[in-house]
Amino acid sequence: MIRDPKREVGQVSSTRQYTGRVISLDVDEVRFPDGSVGSLEMVRHPGASAVVPLLGSPDDPDPELVLIRQYRYAADGYLYEIPAGRLDAGELPADCARRELMEETGYRAADVQPLFTMFTTPGFTDEKIHLFLATGLEAGAHQREADEFLELVPTRLSRALSMIERGEIQDAKTALALLYTAGFRLG
C-alpha cells in the first residue's frame, strides 16, 4: 500500500507562543483526517497525578476518604477535590501521587495503586492526569506550596458520591476518580 503524506494526520508544524511556569502555548498546524490543514492553539502541560486517599480499609462497604476543599482562582471560589499536582521533570506518576498526597494532606500511603489515566480537556490541551488509589495512610505534617489554600475534609464515599450527584463536587478529575473507585475498585 502506498502512503499518501497528504492524508497522514497529525502535526505539520508548531510555533511556541508562550512558555510559563506551569504551561506553554503553541500554535500547531495540523493535518486532519480529511486531508485538510488548520491551526490549533494547544496548551502544553507536563501532566499530573491525583490520588483517592482512603482512610479506612478498602474492604469497608463505605470507606472514609480524604477530600480537600481548595481555593481555585479560575473557579472563583472553593472546590472539593482529591489531592493532585503536576509531575516534576522525570518523575514517575506514582511517585508524584505519593508526593502530592504528603504535601497537601500530610498523609503517607503504604500502598498506591493505579486506577487509570485521563485527558483533562483534549480539545485544547495535552494534559493527562494519572489517577491512583492510596491505602494504608499514616498521618504526618503537610508541606503545602505558598499558593495552596486548602482544608482537609474526611468524607464517607457514599457522601462524596451524593456530593457529585448534587453538583457540590464540580472538579472533573475528582468526580471521575471517585465514581471509578466506587464502581470498579470497591464494593
Q: Please check whether residues 61 and 17 belong to one and the same domain.
A: no
Has residue 148 been placed in a domain?
A: yes
Same domain, 35 and 78: no
Statement to judge: residues 76 and 39 lie in one domain? no
Mean pLDDT of 77-93: 97
Contact 120, 130 (CB under 8 A): no
pLDDT confidence tier of residue 6, bands split at 50, 70 and 90: low
Q: Does residue 92 sit in the same domain as residue 140?
A: yes
Residues 181 and 167: their CA atoms lie apart, in Å, by: 18
- Tell whether 32 and 96 lie within a shared domain: no
| Cell 468526580, located at residue | 175
Q: What's the pLDDT at 111?
A: 96
Residue 156 is assigned to a structural domain of this protein: yes
Q: What's the domain range around 149?
A: 48-185
Mean pLDDT on 14-40:
96
- Does the residue 3 lie in any domain? no
5 domain residue, yes or no? no
> What is the per-residue pLDDT across 125-167, written as a single tens digit (0 to 9) for each?
999 999 999 999 999 888 877 778 899 999 999 999 999 999 9
Q: Locate cell 476518604: which residue?
A: 65
The residue among 128, 92, 133, 127 whose CA lies nearest residue 114 is 133
116 and 152, same domain (yes or no): yes
Q: Quick one: pLDDT at residue 39?
A: 97
- Does 110 map to a domain? yes
CATH number of the domain where residue 86 is located: 3.90.79.10
Proportion of the chain above pLDDT 90, given as a percent = 86
> Quick check: is 1 in a domain?
no
Identify whether residues 140 and 181 lie together within a single domain: yes
- Determine the distance from the C-alpha atom of residue 119 to the mean position of all C-alpha atoms in its chain, rounded to a whole number: 8
The reply to whether 53 and 112 lie within a common domain is yes
* Phi-psi group of 109: left, alpha or beta (phi > 0 → left; psi -120 to 50 → alpha; rest → beta): beta
Count of structural domains, the chain: 2
Shared-domain flag, residues 28 and 104: no
Active site residue 8: no
- Distances in Å between the Cα of 6 and the Cα atoms of 9, 31, 39, 41 are 8, 8, 16, 21
Given the residues 145, 148, 151, 168, the one annotated as active site: 148
Q: Are 129 and 155 within one domain?
A: yes
d(CA 178, CA 21): 29
Closest C-alpha among 62, 148, 163, 57 to residue 105: 148
Determine the Cα angle at 100 with ends 96 and 102, to 5°.
120
pTM, two decimals, is: 0.91
Closest CA to 87 of 123, 52, 129: 129
Residues 53 and 33 in one domain: no
